Amino acid sequence: MAEVRIALLGAGSMGTVHAAAYANMPVVSVVGVYSRDAARAAAVAALCKAPPFTDVAELIEAADVDAIDVCLPSENHHDVVIPALEAGKHVFCESPLALDLDQALSMRDTARRVGRLLQVVEEADDIVFGYFPAVYLHAFTIVQLQLGQHFLLGQQQVFPVDGIGIR
């Protein structure tokens, strides 16, 4: 299985959890961690052996990025998701996707227009914290294989589920 190269946007609590999970996934390589705060970017980047970034546009535009994982505050999602999709990246975004319907629809429409996957994480404790590595491996296996069907992974089950993600 080829390696999936992830850019992680956000070095707060969820960004830290995501970085630690990625560090334990042999098919995932974090190619950069963004935060406005250089010290936070460096600390979280160290968890997954990635370089820190304080310029979000530079990381989004990087050629070695397959997908963007957005762990920023919800009010900032639209400002990074649209440029990431337009740069040809798949996007995995923490929920809620947006704080208003117009922004959510704009992101959905952009993903459809550019043919990229926009996946939204559901923050249910039993999914994110109970099956965290499976959920993330699931999302980026979809990105990697360019599947037209989404799958939900549990501890020992893999089965197709309609309506997961936005296509």
Q: Which of 124, 87, 113, 88 is nearest to 166 (CA)?
A: 113
What is the predicted pLDDT for the residue at 97? 87
In which domain, by residue range, is 62 found?
A: 4-160
The rounded percent of the chain whose pLDDT value lies above 70 is: 71
Contacts of 158 (CB under 8 A, 6+ apart): 151, 152
Q: What is the tens place of the pLDDT at every residue in 124-145?
A: 433 344 444 444 444 444 444 4
CATH of the domain at 39: 3.40.50.720
| The length of the chain, given as a count of residues | 167
| pLDDT bracket for residue 167 (50, 70, 90) | very low
Q: What is the tens place of the pLDDT at every residue in 4-42?
A: 899 999 999 999 989 988 888 888 899 999 999 999 999
Asked whether residue 26 is domain-assigned, the answer is yes
Residue 96: is the preceding peptide bond cis (ω within 30°)?
Answer: yes
Q: How many independent structural domains does the chain possess?
A: 1
- Give the SS3 label for residue 5: strand
Asked whether residue 91 is domain-assigned, the answer is yes
In degrees, rounded to 5, the angle at the alpha carbon of residue 22 between the alpha carbons of residues 24 and 85 is 160
Asked whether residue 167 is domain-assigned, the answer is no
Asked whether residue 150 is domain-assigned, the answer is yes
What is the predicted pLDDT for the residue at 122? 65
